[in-house]
Amino acid sequence: SGEARARLAVALGHVENGAMNDGMQAAETALTLTREAGNKKAEVAALQLLADIQIIKEEPRKAELTASQALELCRTIGHKRAEGSSLLTLTFALLEKGESVRALQQATEALSTFKKCGDKRGEAAALCSLTYVHAEKHDTDQALQCADAEVQILQALGDKRGEAASTLTLSIIYIERRLGEESLSAAKKAQDLYQGLKDRKGEATAIYIQVFAHLLKESSNDAESAAEEAQAIFQETGDRTWEARTLWAISVLYAVRADFESAQTKAKEAKTKFEEVADQKGVAASMLVSVDMYLETQEYDEAISIAEEARQICRHIDYRRGQAAALQRQAMANLGKGEADKALTLATDARKICRSVLDKQGETNLLHTMIQASLELCKQSENAMRLLGNQKEGKDHAAAMRRSHREALQRAKSSVALARWLGDKLQLGISLMFLAQAEMMSGRFSDALKA
């Protein structure tokens, strides 16, 4: 039992140092030793740590199985606090799989479990998980309520580090709601808290979040300054993962400025850094920035090739949102090449993935791509119909034109409804623009003007 505890301590040390493979090996050894010793509580601890490592290593299916084993064992031995912790681990495993409905059930049960135990710190952790779940479901009002409640508990406990982390979460949620000023204020408050704790990594993370708050406020110079400051601190502390993330953020910043060459350069630098720390999600995200730049410069074949490589990476780690994002880029590239039918097929496949993980934002984007493809197919059929006249092929094209138009109109209406549900004014404006186009093609000019 003593050796098992020592192995768990070693595993934790590896995790803190970012050596996940070594941490995994030590946790698995600890698990074997706890089972041999018949120490059920220690076995739960080993299972929970193993599941946490599997989540970090982007193995959500394995993590779900491991966390479920820990949960079952907790209930067998009546260990309620550990049961709450296992429910939280299971919550995050399900979130990684994109199963936010099941994640909400587990997080809600965890909150109830901690409340019954009178465990305020556990209650705060459960509220944190609920914040992430509601944010994933695009229910930002509920997410903000949970985050506020978590901050209040941590303030009452005098937990400055926890308060800083939860305040930073608030900042991220404000970004989701496109509230730049509120996000910046929360991120700066978190930065001050981390400075008081002399936590350089925490301080740099808060500055990193400020990059996106500044971008929302259309202050690209302030965003660049924040990114450079965060990058310098991450380099100073030797945190290569966050250094890579900051490079990715800088690539996005250059993309927003339409400096495509600089964006491409920084995206490639970020990809290299992510590869060094074996962060496959980061590798794929960096590649997709490169794809976006190739789309902007109309290098469509290059865009399709890199997007497919990114899709395969996301498929390998079971990151379905990433797969959908890669497929959408491929669809856009095919649209650029004039291959609307292929684009529509790819976008339809991507939309199915988004719906399977309840990614409403991604689904809205894909509906826009599908509308563009349908409208293009409609134009192609109309041109062919005019050339062929009353011949059979001409009538076939007329039928195809009507079908494509109906599909474009239906998808435009769906995207408007979805954007309204999300409360996203930018997406709503784009959806209404597409609806106006579809209405004009059918000759309903008053409806088009209304849209």
Give yes or no for a contact between 51 and 89, defined as CB atoms under 8 angstroms apart. yes
Residue 426 pLDDT > 90? no
**If phi over 0 gives left and psi between -120 and 50 gives alpha, with beta otherwise, what is residue 218?**
left
Average pLDDT of the chain is 89
145 by Cβ neighbours in 10 Å (0-12 / 13-18 / 19+) ranks as middle
Cβ atoms within 10 A of the Cβ of 334, count? 23
Give yes or no for a contact between 388 and 380, defined as CB atoms under 8 angstroms apart. no
Q: Using one digit for the tens of pLDDT, what is the confidence trace for 22-39?
A: 888 988 998 999 998 899
The band of 395, judged by pLDDT with boundaries at 50, 70 and 90, is low
Helix (H, G, I), strand (E, B) or coil at 57: coil
Q: Using one digit for the tens of pLDDT, what is the confidence trace for 96-117?
A: 877 888 899 999 999 999 999 9
Q: What is the pTM of this model?
A: 0.73
Q: Is the dihedral of CA 193, 196, 197, 201 positive or negative?
A: positive
In this structure, which amino acid lies at residue 203? E
d(CA 44, CA 67): 9
pLDDT above 90: percentage of residues in the chain? 60
Tokens of 5: 């505890």
379 by Cβ neighbours in 10 Å (0-12 / 13-18 / 19+) ranks as middle
pLDDT the model gives residue 296:
93
pLDDT the model gives residue 251:
94
d(CA 187, CA 185): 6
Q: Which of 167-176, 183-192, 224-233 has the lowest mean pLDDT?
A: 167-176
pLDDT the model gives residue 425:
75
Residue 349 pLDDT > 90? yes
The band of 409, judged by pLDDT with boundaries at 50, 70 and 90, is confident
pLDDT the model gives residue 386:
67
